[in-house]
Structure 1
Amino acid sequence: MTIFKPAGWLRALLAAALAIAAGAALAHGVSEPDKGFLQGAQGLHLLPYLYLGAKHMVTGYDHLLFLVGVIFFLHRMKDIGLYVTLFALGHSTTLLLGVLNGWHINAYLVDAIIGLSIVYRAFDNLGGFRSVFGLQPNKKAAVLIFGFFHGLGLATKLQDFALSPDGLIPNMIAFNVGVEIGQLLALGMILVLMRFWRGTASFARNAIRGNIALMAAGLTLAGFQLAGLITQ
C-alpha cells in the first residue's frame, strides 16, 4: 500500500471531520413524527416499531461507520457473518435489557464511546496496536463489547420518550427485529460498494486513507458528544 504523505493525512482528516461535523448532533436522532408516535403509543404496535428499528439502523451513521470498519478487510462471507453476528448479539442484548430494566446512562457518554469504537476499529485495521503497543487485542471480543455500547446508545434514546408499559416487551422485541433487518439491509449495501471498490486499483492505494478518514470521523463524533457531556 502507498504510504500516506503528511498532506494526504491532513486532507483526509479535514474532509472527514467536516462531513461529520455537519451532522454530528443528529447521531441517534429521532424525527418529530417518530417522537410523537413513541410518546403517545399505547398497546401493541409491532409493525411501526419494526419499521422504526430498521429506520434507525439504516440512518444511524455511527453504527454504519463501525460496520464499515469491521468488514473493511474481511473477504470471506463466513468471517463477515461471524463478526456481524457478534455485533448484533451485543447491541440486541443491551438494547432490550436497557429499556426493559430502565438503565439510565448518560447519552452523551455512551455516544462518545460509540464514536471511539469507530476510532478503535480503524486503528486496528491499520495495524496500530501491533506497531505502537506490540500487541493485538482480540478482534472478536472487541466487536462484541462495542456492540454492547451501540445497543445502549439505542436504549438511551428510547428511554427519553417514557414508553408506555402496555405492550412494551413485544414492542421492544419488534423494534430489535427491525434493527437487525436494518442492519442486514445496510450491510448489503456496504458489501456491494466495498466489493466494487476492492475490484479497482484505487483500493490498495486508498485503504490507508479510508481508515484514517474513519478514525477522523470517530474522533469528531466523540468530540461533539464529550463537549455535550461537559456543557449539559
Structure 2
Amino acid sequence: MIALSVNLNKVATLRNTRTYNYPSVVRAARTVLDAGAAGITIHPRPDARHILEEDVLDLAELMKEPSYSKREFNIEGYPDARFLALVKRIKPNQVTLVPDTPSQLTSDHGWNLLDQNSFLFPIVAELKSIGCRVSLFSDAEPDFIEEIAKIGSDRIEIYTGYYFNTFDTPQNALVLKKIADTAKAARNFGLGINAGHDLTLKNLPTLVKSIPWIDEVSIGHHFIGEALWMGLEEAVWAYNAKLVLKGT
C-alpha cells in the first residue's frame, strides 16, 4: 500500500486567523495518525503563514510518542539557514527540499538541477549525515533524474499539479505518461518515489494504477477540503482506500 502523508498546513492556516491555539495542529496530527495515516507533512515557511516554529517543535515531541514512533515526519521547505537550523534541531524522518521563493502561494515547480546541483549537493549530504531521508521536489522530467541521483538524494517528489489541471482532458494522458516515465527513471537509478500536489479522491486511482511503485503521497489542500464534509478520520480512510494496490 502506498503511504499517505497528511499535510497539516491548512489546519495551521485556519488556526492563525485567531490569536489562540484552535484548531490545534497537534490534535489534527494525532487524529489523522490514529486513523491510519502513515505520516504527517508540514512546511514551515519564512513568513509563518501557516506552520509556526512552535508547531514544528510540538509535532516533533508528538512523533516521539511510542504510538507514532514508526510513523513518518516529513518537513518540506527551501533550504535556507533558518530552515536547516530547524531541521537539524528536530531531525525528522524525511526532509523534502523545494525551490520555493518566500512569496509563492505553494510549491508549484521542481528544482532546476542543471543550475542548482552544486548548491544542493552539500546540503543533501549534511541532512543525510544527521539521519534524515532526503527527497527533492521535481517536475515530471525524466532527464532530471540522473542529476538528482548524482546529488545524493534518496527520493524524488514528483510535482503533480499539471496532472490535476489536465485531469478529464485529452492532455492528461501525455501528462500521466511523463510522470510515469519520470518514476521509471527514478526507480532505475534506485531512488524512492513520492508524489504530491492537488491529488484528490478522484484522480488518485488513475495515478496509482499507472505507477503502483510510488512510495508515498503527500496530500493537504484537498484532504482538508474533504475533511470539512466527512471529518479527518473518514478522510484518512477514504484516501487510504484509494491507495490500496489491487491484488494486495
Same fold per TM (> 0.5)?
A: no
Larger RCO: Structure 1 or Structure 2 (Cα < 8 Å, ≥ 6 residues apart)? 1
Asked which structure has the greater CA Rg, the reply is 1
Task: Answer 1 or 2: which has greater strand percent.
Answer: 2
TM-score (structure 2 length as normaliser):
0.23
